[in-house]
């Protein structure tokens, strides 16, 4: 129990530290990978909280997402390598206020809400039980929600790709 | 104790892969060659390029090795013999493999060199595309086993191996693992003769040794994954389970290393187009097929 608390605290602090690095660095790629570091720390924190599926899913999804984000930033930013000492922050006052208020609200929620008694691991196959329950939830009661969200994301991805492709006729007309 | 034994096995497996790889490439069987090459690499100077992004440059080979070892950790060698037989094992292996890509992107960006960078970004696209062909066939495998635990997946193949019940998934998974381990003809991130080594081009000495070891470990680990998910893992007559696991894994690794040598390297756009336009629909067909057979057979 003590070990678990220590692990949770440790990974929490690692996540905060990486989040600070995201804004302290000058390089886009470093910034994206630092964000990945924060997400990995959160994934490990989930594992420490015995939410195995959630933790592994977090580790899996974030690796590709953050790397894809890195290449997009390299493509679109004028100084991806940070050679020109590019600043990662903007609207400093607003973001400071928003950050502090958001942090305080989160901390207050964590302290004030009555979370109930701690759930102890009853048996060794608890993660397997979690997976089973999650599957039953997704394929049962919440199926419509997940299906709707999934199809919406797919449609927006296809639409985004179509918008990004320059049509051939348009290009030739433009050249004329 | 099991962890130590499996760690040593992984090391021995990576060594065997190195011997087989040289045998497949040069046609000469020299069991001591990887050891000598490794020692030679350790003795050489490990250069750091000018203006390297030092953190990414140093972390990349180590992260690569960690990811390769982590992907092996959830694969059972025999009943009850795995470093960590997680309840989410089949998902965890995907998570571990995703960090191979992160490591290669780091190795591409880190040295501040054009060929390395091209190689790194190539592998990003390659993994995002072929990662799909790892996850989706595994979904069908998990469907049959009714579990994400890898030892359960092996036990579910007691009657018939998955290679026979879902051959399409097997072929897709096989190709995807070859793309993930960037073996020929999928060796776009390193691309000897075109990118001059690509992601590993700027590495030398001990760093290159770690990089190579990580790649060999990854090949062994992926061959082991094919064995567990499709070839019945430890199941087999007469011999003890762990012997079957090792024999099957080595056979798969040999085929992976030999097969691609006779094919020309694919072009990046063809590679990606085939994965998205052909591979993903076929993987969906596979899931549908497995679902229908499961409902009918039950």
Interface touch A56/B102, C-beta < 8 Å: no
Chain A positions touching B124 (Cβ under 8 A) are 67-68, 71
Q: How far apart are CA A52 and CA A54, in angstroms?
A: 6
Q: What is the mean pLDDT of chain B?
A: 87
Give me the pLDDT at residue B220, please.
92
Average pLDDT rounded to a whole number, residues B4-29:
83
Q: Is the pLDDT of residue A176 over 50?
A: no
Residue B84 near residue A47 (C-beta atoms within 8 A): no
- What tens digit of pLDDT does each residue of B38-91 get? 888 888 877 777 877 788 888 999 999 999 999 998 888 888 778 888 888 888
Interface touch A64/B91, C-beta < 8 Å: no
Chain A positions touching B93 (Cβ under 8 A) are none
Give me the pLDDT at residue A124, please.
54
Residue of A nearest to B130 (CA): A64
Interface touch B102/A63, C-beta < 8 Å: yes
Chain A positions touching B91 (Cβ under 8 A) are 53, 56-57, 60
For B64, left (φ over 0), alpha (ψ -120 to 50), or beta? alpha
Chain B positions touching A37 (Cβ under 8 A) are none
pLDDT band for position B193 (cuts 50, 70, 90):
confident
Residue ranges in B166-204 assigned as alpha helix (H): 167-180
pLDDT band for position A67 (cuts 50, 70, 90):
confident
Give the gyration radius of chain B's Cα atoms: 19
Give me the pLDDT at residue A168, please.
65
- What tens digit of pLDDT does each residue of A19-63 get? 989 888 888 888 888 999 999 999 999 988 888 888 999 999 898
Interface touch B87/A59, C-beta < 8 Å: no
Mutate which: B98, B135, B143, vs A, most A CBs within 10 A: B98
More confident of the two residues A144 and B86: A144
Interface touch A60/B87, C-beta < 8 Å: no
What pTM was estimated for this model as a whole? 0.87
pLDDT band for position A119 (cuts 50, 70, 90):
low
∠ CA(B44), CA(B69), CA(B255), 5° rounding? 85
Q: Is the pLDDT of residue B14 over 90?
A: no
Residue where the block lists tokens 């190795």: B107
């Amino acid at each position: 129990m003590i070990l678990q608390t220590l692990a949770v605290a440790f990974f929490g602090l690692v996540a905060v530290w990486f989040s600070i690095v995201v804004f302290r660095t000058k390089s886009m790629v470093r910034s994206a990978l630092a964000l990945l570091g924060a997400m990995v720390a959160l994934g490990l924190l989930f594992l420490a909280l015995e939410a195995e599926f959630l933790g592994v899913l977090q580790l899996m999804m974030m690796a590709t997402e953050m790397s894809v984000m890195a290449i997009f930033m390299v493509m679109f930013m004028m100084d991806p390598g940070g050679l020109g000492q590019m600043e990662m922050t903007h609207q400093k006052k607003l973001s400071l206020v928003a950050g502090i208020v958001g942090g305080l609200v989160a901390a207050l929620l964590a302290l004030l809400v009555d979370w109930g008694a701690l759930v102890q691991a009853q048996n060794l196959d608890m993660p397997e039980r979690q997976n089973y329950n999650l599957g039953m939830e997704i394929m049962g009661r919440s199926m419509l929600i997940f299906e709707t969200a999934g199809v919406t994301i797919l449609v927006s991805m296809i639409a985004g790709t179509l918008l990004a492709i320059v049509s051939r006729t348009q290009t030739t007309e433009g050249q004329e | 104790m099991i962890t130590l034994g499996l760690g040593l096995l992984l090391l021995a497996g990576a060594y065997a892969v190195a011997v087989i790889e040289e045998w497949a490439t040069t046609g000469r069987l020299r069991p001591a060659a990887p050891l000598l090459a490794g020692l030679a690499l350790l003795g050489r100077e490990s250069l750091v390029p000018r203006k390297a992004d030092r953190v990414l440059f140093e972390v990349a080979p180590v992260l690569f090795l960690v990811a390769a070892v982590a992907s092996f950790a959830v694969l059972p060698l025999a009943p009850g013999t795995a470093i960590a037989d997680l309840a989410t094992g089949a998902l965890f292996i995907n998570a571990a493999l995703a960090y191979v890509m992160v490591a290669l992107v780091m190795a591409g960006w880190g040295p501040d060199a054009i060929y390395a960078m091209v190689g790194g970004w190539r592998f990003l696209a390659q993994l995002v595309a072929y990662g799909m062909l790892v996850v989706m066939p595994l979904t069908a495998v998990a469907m049959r086993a009714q579990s994400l635990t890898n030892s359960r997946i092996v036990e579910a193949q007691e009657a018939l191996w998955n290679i026979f019940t879902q051959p399409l998934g097997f072929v897709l998974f096989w190709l995807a693992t070859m793309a993930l381990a960037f073996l020929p003809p999928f060796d776009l991130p390193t691309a000897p003769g075109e990118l001059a080594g690509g992601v590993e081009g700027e590495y030398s000495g001990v760093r290159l040794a770690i990089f190579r070891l990580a790649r060999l470990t990854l090949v062994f680990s992926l061959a082991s994954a094919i064995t567990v998910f499709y070839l019945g893992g430890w199941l087999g007559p007469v011999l003890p389970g762990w012997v079957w696991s090792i024999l099957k894994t080595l056979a798969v690794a040999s085929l992976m290393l030999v097969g691609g040598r006779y094919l020309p390297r694919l072009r990046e756009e063809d590679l990606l187009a085939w994965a998205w336009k052909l591979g993903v629909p076929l993987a969906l067909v596979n899931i549908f097929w497995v679902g229908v057979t499961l409902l009918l057979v039950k």
